């Protein structure tokens, strides 16, 4: 046993082996060997006797008491056997075993979790927002993973192509973000570059955001035009009521060059907001309230915004319909019976005598009474458009300089060209009246126009002027002489005399809609009222691409319907576009800035409107500029929508910042600004000045 | 810095996650460092200090990484729970190692493994003293006291919780009881009772040592296994994040 210790509880204990896994059970009487590594007691006796010269000697260590008096037994075994104990695990070993069990159990639990199919997967980091919670394919709708289980996903990990895979999955459902959805603000790169250029030209903010400046110093400035993945801003798995669109002002400005402190400090001053361009409807508030309404007894002379403007459910202010707001004065102008209807289809007058003499058959052709000279001698009006694809350019080009009513001086080749042209005209008329025009031959606007030509009117036209049209065209197509030519040879009257007999009579009753002006061999159309679909179709055709300037007279504000008196025409590249709608909610949605009137006005009153929308008193020169921005001299519409004059003074920033500040109405960027503005072609740089 | 990264629309959670992963792995390496003693990689004490400060920082970093919210997914909750157990057990262990260890220096210091043997020795001493007193006085006062109160007291280490709370109440109550017995004892018996009181005091000190040292050993039975769980779940979490973030 141990020698007498120097203190009551010796600290320098020779047995203490805290690094071993097993301890002797005989606390205080431990054997020197201690348990084996496997926890087995190695004790046997106090010594292991050695044999020397046929005698056994005790070898007990001095520390254990030295050689014993009794000495080994005759058979060489020690006389002091040590009773075996049951070694116990040390705390170290217990800790190690517990760690091993914990490792194994956690590994099993983890593998069990990942083996569960993903749609019921507990590995989901958080509850999805309500709008995403019912996705049909579970995790695979947004993540590039297998829909079977996480294990299957692990197997296919790394096989996806590089790129914005997850963002593309977002856009698979959110298809309304345009073709450049991942671009900043979802607008195309060219527009982005222009915006960046404009921003760089803007003076630096008076109050900068130090936090944004610091972050840019540390992390650099994000490339203004580099794509941004959806998940950069939209963080999912934060609960069903999480706001996926929540962003701080600093986060909004991290890409912008001129980061300012807040709306009240540093935000650029408003530049003629909310006006971003010429209005879609020309309405001079000053002249109406100052002059026109004054002439009417039942109209107010004081500005009453709500007389015409109404609040939509979306929070924007729209315009009441025509009948409610403008019809009482302007309806009669639209239905003005003194203005001839627009020429839809005009039949040119041919010198049939010369053609017959030259033995060139054009079949029956309406003859005009000599006293009526308003008929056209060329193919004019919308006829060229309606029959465009039926008329071969070669023939039309060749006869362009000829007077079709007098072909006496035309060469034989020209006469043949006239004949070809006449039959092409008839073929086109035949297709229009009797056969459905092949859709692939018509452009959209042409199709729209032809769709509005009632078959009854066409039948009336054919019966009046081309009673033998069907027979002649079919015969001509079969290579036969027309019956009209035969009758001419025999002297029999042909149907072409019908028009002559009718020409003595005045044009048919002045009515609205389609009517035949037989004195001019013209099918005309007079609008029946506001928002006439036929007039819209006609104007759509006239403003389409490739339309010659000769049609521009139809766009005059004095033309039938007086459409451009109020409706503006915007020029976009090669085509013009008539703004039939005064208010477009979708256009507002695509602007950088939005404003909801609802929380700002409790009971709509004009007094509340003028608090922000201050009608300016325009000088004569400015008033003239205003008018010139809508109409040229002669009543033709001005098509440059970028040139405009504001009738209202722009809203100043202070009007908003008085309430929109921290602790009050809040001054978050997203309260007023939109991020995804992407409708191609629906806005221009002028709308982006916010 | 992470807050600035978040402000710059950078993947701050990824950054904090990578940093946290490095911290957790680094913290777990302390156990390995204690086993590898031959490499010149800093003393174990230095490693322990780094472990403590890094562990405290990891708690803050974890809260930042989790967005200062309690996770709502099952796996994330298990991960957070395992981290919480490791972190809190570490805090408790740190507190105990600072405070309890200092308490152990008061009075005699004894090896933990030797305490049961010492207690057994004291028990035998008290028993023989009692029997000797009975032989001399033929009175059952002292034996009665031993049978009623002292025999169970000397069975093994006692009153763990009270000693952990640094309460001396059990020992003092026993001594007071012995003292009360002395009122009705003879001179010989009082002498025996005095010796028994000394033995009780020694045994009480051994109990104190045992309780504190046991606590200082047992907290690692929570901290280390929980760390193993945390490492496994962390590895799974990293794998899941990488798979589900792919293509971003």
- Given a cut of 60, whether residue A570 has pLDDT beyond it is yes
Which of B6, B232, B238 should be substituted to probe chain A, the one whose Cβ sees the most A Cβ atoms within 10 Å? B232
- Are A95 and B225 within 8 A, CB to CB? yes
Average pLDDT over residues A505-520: 66
Percent of chain A residues past pLDDT 90, beyond the cut: 2
Q: From the list B10, B74, B244, which residue is nearest A219 (CB)?
A: B10
Average pLDDT over residues A409-434: 85
The alpha carbon of residue B242 is apart from the nearest alpha carbon of chain A, in Å, by: 9
Q: Touching check for B117 and chain A: CB below 8 Å?
A: yes
Q: Touching check for B31 and chain A: CB below 8 Å?
A: no
Instruction: Specify the DSSP class assigned to residue A260.
Output: B
Q: From the list B221, B233, B246, which residue is nearest A106 (CB)?
A: B233
- Least confident range of A222-226, A228-232, A371-375: A371-375
pLDDT digits (tens, 9 = 90+) for A125-139: 888 888 888 877 778
The alpha carbon of residue A677 is apart from the nearest alpha carbon of chain B, in Å, by: 20
The residue ranges of chain B whose pLDDT is under 50 are 247-248
Q: Touching check for B243 and chain A: CB below 8 Å?
A: yes
Rounded to whole angstroms, the Cα distance separating A615 from A174 reads 41
Contacts with B243 from chain A: Cβ below 8 Å: 145, 150, 153-154, 157
Rounded to whole angstroms, the Cα distance separating B32 from B29 reads 5
How would residue A605 be classed by pLDDT, with cut points 50, 70 and 90? low
Question: Looking at the DSSP assignment, which residues form a beta bridge with residue A23?
Answer: A88
The alpha carbon of residue B140 is apart from the nearest alpha carbon of chain A, in Å, by: 32
Q: Are B130 and B192 in contact (CB under 8 A)?
A: yes
Contacts with B10 from chain A: Cβ below 8 Å: 219
Q: What is the mean pLDDT of chain A?
A: 77
- Are A102 and B243 within 8 A, CB to CB? no
Residue B201: the pLDDT is 92
Q: From the list A102, A122, A231, which residue is nearest B248 (CB)?
A: A231
| SS3 label, residue A673 | strand
- Are B73 and A23 within 8 A, CB to CB? no
- How many helices (H) and strands (E) chain A has is answered by 25, 13
- Given a cut of 60, whether residue A312 has pLDDT beyond it is yes
Rounded to whole angstroms, the Cα distance separating B30 from A214 reads 37
pLDDT digits (tens, 9 = 90+) for A531-553: 888 888 888 777 776 665 656 66
Rounded to whole angstroms, the Cα distance separating B80 from B71 reads 7
Contacts with A98 from chain B: Cβ below 8 Å: 221, 224-225
Contacts with B9 from chain A: Cβ below 8 Å: 222, 228, 232-233, 251, 254-255
Angle formed by the axes of helices A412-433 and A469-477, to 10°? 120
- Are B72 and A154 within 8 A, CB to CB? no
Percent of chain A residues past pLDDT 70, beyond the cut: 76
How would residue A288 be classed by pLDDT, with cut points 50, 70 and 90? confident
Rounded to whole angstroms, the Cα distance separating A356 from A501 reads 21
Rounded to whole angstroms, the Cα distance separating A614 from A611 reads 7
* Nearest-Cα residue of chain A relative to residue B74: A122
Q: Touching check for B111 and chain A: CB below 8 Å?
A: yes
Residue A533: the pLDDT is 85
Q: Which of residues 33-72 of B touch A (CB under 8 A)?
A: 67, 69, 71-72
Whole-model pTM over 0.80: no
The alpha carbon of residue B246 is apart from the nearest alpha carbon of chain A, in Å, by: 7
Q: From the list B9, B229, B247, which residue is nearest A102 (CB)?
A: B229
Question: Could you tell me the CA-to-CA distances from A222 to A21, A115, A207, A208, A256 in Å, in that order?
Answer: 58, 40, 21, 17, 9
Residue A436: the pLDDT is 65
- Given a cut of 60, whether residue A469 has pLDDT beyond it is yes
The alpha carbon of residue A655 is apart from the nearest alpha carbon of chain B, in Å, by: 29
How would residue A5 be classed by pLDDT, with cut points 50, 70 and 90? very low
Which of A6, A8, A215, A256 should be substituted to probe chain B, the one whose Cβ sees the most B Cβ atoms within 10 Å? A215
Average pLDDT over residues A203-221: 83
ipTM of the complex as predicted: 0.86
Q: Are A334 and A529 in contact (CB under 8 A)?
A: yes
Rounded to whole angstroms, the Cα distance separating B50 from B42 reads 11
The alpha carbon of residue A126 is apart from the nearest alpha carbon of chain B, in Å, by: 5
Residues 6+ apart with CB under 8 A from A573: A545
How would residue A646 be classed by pLDDT, with cut points 50, 70 and 90? confident
Question: Could you tell me the CA-to-CA distances from B25 to B18, B19, B80, B221, B234 in Å, in that order?
Answer: 11, 10, 16, 19, 10
Rounded to whole angstroms, the Cα distance separating A118 from B105 reads 57
- Given a cut of 50, whether residue A175 has pLDDT beyond it is yes
Rounded to whole angstroms, the Cα distance separating A292 from A299 reads 9
Within 10 A of A38 (CB to CB), how many other CB atoms are there? 8
Contacts with A238 from chain B: Cβ below 8 Å: 67, 69
- Given a cut of 70, whether residue A11 has pLDDT beyond it is no
Q: Touching check for A95 and chain B: CB below 8 Å?
A: yes
- Are B236 and A113 within 8 A, CB to CB? yes
Residues 6+ apart with CB under 8 A from A326: A308, A566
Residue A68: the pLDDT is 86
- Are A113 and B75 within 8 A, CB to CB? yes
- Given a cut of 50, whether residue A498 has pLDDT beyond it is no
Residue A137: the pLDDT is 75
The alpha carbon of residue A313 is apart from the nearest alpha carbon of chain B, in Å, by: 34
Residue B79: the pLDDT is 94
Q: Touching check for B118 and chain A: CB below 8 Å?
A: yes
- Are A157 and B242 within 8 A, CB to CB? yes
pLDDT digits (tens, 9 = 90+) for A367-401: 765 554 444 555 555 666 666 655 556 677 777 78
Within 10 A of B24 (CB to CB), how many other CB atoms are there? 22
CA atoms within 13 A on the CB side of A673: 18
Rounded to whole angstroms, the Cα distance separating A467 from A459 reads 9
Backbone angles phi, psi at A569, to 5 degrees: -120, 120
* Nearest-Cα residue of chain B relative to residue A161: B247
The alpha carbon of residue B86 is apart from the nearest alpha carbon of chain A, in Å, by: 13
The alpha carbon of residue A668 is apart from the nearest alpha carbon of chain B, in Å, by: 14
Rounded to whole angstroms, the Cα distance separating A323 from A271 reads 34
Q: From the list A11, A106, A219, which residue is nearest B232 (CB)?
A: A106
């Amino acid at each position: 046993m141990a020698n007498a210790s120097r203190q009551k509880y010796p600290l320098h204990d020779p047995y203490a082996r805290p690094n071993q896994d097993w301890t002797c059970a005989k606390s205080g009487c431990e054997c020197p060997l201690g348990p084996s590594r496997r926890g087995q007691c190695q004790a046997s006796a106090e010594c292991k006797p050695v044999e020397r010269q046929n005698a056994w000697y005790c070898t007990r260590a001095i520390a254990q008491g030295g050689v014993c008096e009794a000495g080994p037994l005759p058979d060489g075994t020690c006389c002091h056997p040590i009773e075996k104990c049951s070694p116990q695990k040390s705390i170290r070993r217990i800790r190690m075993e517990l760690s091993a069990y914990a490792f194994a159990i956690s590994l099993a639990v983890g593998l069990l979790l990942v083996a569960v199919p993903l749609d019921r997967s507990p590995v989901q980091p958080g509850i999805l927002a309500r709008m995403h919670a019912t996705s049909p394919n579970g995790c695979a709708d947004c993540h590039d993973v297998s829909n079977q289980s996480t294990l299957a996903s692990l197997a296919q990990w790394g096989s996806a192509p590089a790129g914005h895979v997850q963002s593309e999955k977002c856009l698979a459902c959110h298809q309304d973000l345009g073709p450049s959805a991942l671009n900043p603000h979802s607008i195309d790169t060219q527009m982005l570059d222009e915006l960046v250029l404009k921003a760089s030209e803007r003076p630096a903010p008076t109050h900068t955001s130090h936090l944004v400046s610091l972050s840019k110093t540390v992390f650099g400035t994000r490339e203004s035009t580099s794509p941004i993945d959806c998940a950069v801003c939209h963080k999912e798995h934060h609960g069903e009521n999480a706001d996926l669109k929540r962003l701080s002002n600093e986060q909004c400005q991290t890409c912008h060059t001129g980061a300012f402190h807040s709306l009240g400090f540093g935000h650029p001053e408003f530049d003629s907001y909310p006006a971003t361009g010429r209005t879609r409807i020309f309405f001079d508030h000053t002249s109406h309230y100052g002059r026109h309404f004054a002439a009417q007894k039942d109209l107010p002379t004081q500005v009453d915004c709500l007389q015409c403007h109404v609040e939509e459910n979306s929070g924007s202010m729209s315009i009441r319909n025509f009948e409610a707001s403008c019809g009482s004065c302007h309806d009669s102008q639209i239905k003005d019976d003194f203005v001839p209807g627009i020429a839809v289809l005009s039949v040119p007058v041919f010198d049939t005598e010369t053609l017959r003499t030259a033995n060139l058959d054009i079949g029956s052709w309406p003859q005009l009474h000599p006293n009526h000279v308003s008929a056209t001698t060329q193919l004019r009006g919308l006829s060229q458009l309606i029959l465009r694809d039926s008329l071969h350019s070669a023939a039309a080009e060749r006869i362009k300089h000829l007077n079709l009513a007098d072909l006496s001086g035309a060469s034989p080749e020209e006469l043949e060209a006239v004949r070809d042209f006449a039959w092409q005209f008839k073929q086109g008329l035949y297709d229009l009246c009797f056969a459905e025009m092949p859709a692939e031959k018509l452009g959209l606007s042409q199709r729209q126009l032809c769709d509005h030509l009632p078959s009854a009117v066409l039948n009336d036209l054919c019966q009046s002027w081309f009673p033998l049209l069907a027979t002649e065209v079919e015969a001509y197509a079969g290579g036969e002489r027309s019956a009209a030519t035969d009758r001419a040879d025999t002297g029999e009257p042909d149907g072409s005399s019908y028009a002559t007999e009718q020409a003595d009579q005045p044009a048919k009753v002045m009515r609205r809609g389609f009517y035949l002006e037989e004195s001019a061999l013209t099918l005309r159309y007079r609008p029946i009222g506001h928002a006439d679909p036929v007039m819209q179709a006609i104007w759509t055709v006239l403003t389409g691409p490739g339309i010659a300037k000769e049609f521009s007279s139809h766009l005059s504000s004095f033309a039938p319907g007086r459409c451009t008196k109020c409706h503006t025409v915007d020029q976009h590249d090669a085509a013009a576009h008539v703004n039939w709608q005064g208010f477009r909610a979708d256009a507002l949605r695509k602007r950088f800035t939005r404003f909801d009137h609802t929380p700002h006005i409790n009971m709509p009153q004009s007094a509340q409107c003028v608090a922000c929308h201050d009608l300016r008193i325009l000088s004569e020169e400015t008033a003239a500029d205003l008018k010139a921005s809508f109409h040229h001299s002669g009543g033709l519409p001005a098509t440059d929508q970028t040139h405009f004059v504001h009738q209202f003074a722009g809203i100043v920033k202070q009007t908003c910042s008085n309430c929109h500040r921290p602790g009050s109405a809040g001054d978050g960027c997203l309260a007023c600004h939109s991020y995804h503005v992407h409708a191609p072609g629906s806005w221009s740089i002028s709308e982006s000045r916010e | 810095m992470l807050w600035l990264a978040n402000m710059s629309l950078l993947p701050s959670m990824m950054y904090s996650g990578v940093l946290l992963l490095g911290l957790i792995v680094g913290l777990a390496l302390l156990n390995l460092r204690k086993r590898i003693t031959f490499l010149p990689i800093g003393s174990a004490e230095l490693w322990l200090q780094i472990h403590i400060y890094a562990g405290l920082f990891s708690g803050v970093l974890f809260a930042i990484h989790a967005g200062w919210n309690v996770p709502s997914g099952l796996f994330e909750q298990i991960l957070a729970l395992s981290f919480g157990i490791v972190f809190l057990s570490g805090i408790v262990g740190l507190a105990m190692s600072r405070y309890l260890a200092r308490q152990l220096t008061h009075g005699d210091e004894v090896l933990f493994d030797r305490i049961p043997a010492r207690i057994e020795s004291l028990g035998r001493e008290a028993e023989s003293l009692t029997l000797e007193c009975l032989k001399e006085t033929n009175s059952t006062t002292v034996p009665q006291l031993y049978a009623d109160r002292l025999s169970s007291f000397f069975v093994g280490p006692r009153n763990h919780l009270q000693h952990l709370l640094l309460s001396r109440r059990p020992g003092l109550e026993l001594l007071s009881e012995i003292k009360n017995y002395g009122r009705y004892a003879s001179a010989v018996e009082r002498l025996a009772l005095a010796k028994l009181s000394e033995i009780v005091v020694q045994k009480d000190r051994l109990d104190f040592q045992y309780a504190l040292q046991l606590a200082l050993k047992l907290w690692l039975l929570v901290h280390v296994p929980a760390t193993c769980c945390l490492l496994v779940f962390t590895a799974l979490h990293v794998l899941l994040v990488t798979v589900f973030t792919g293509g971003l």
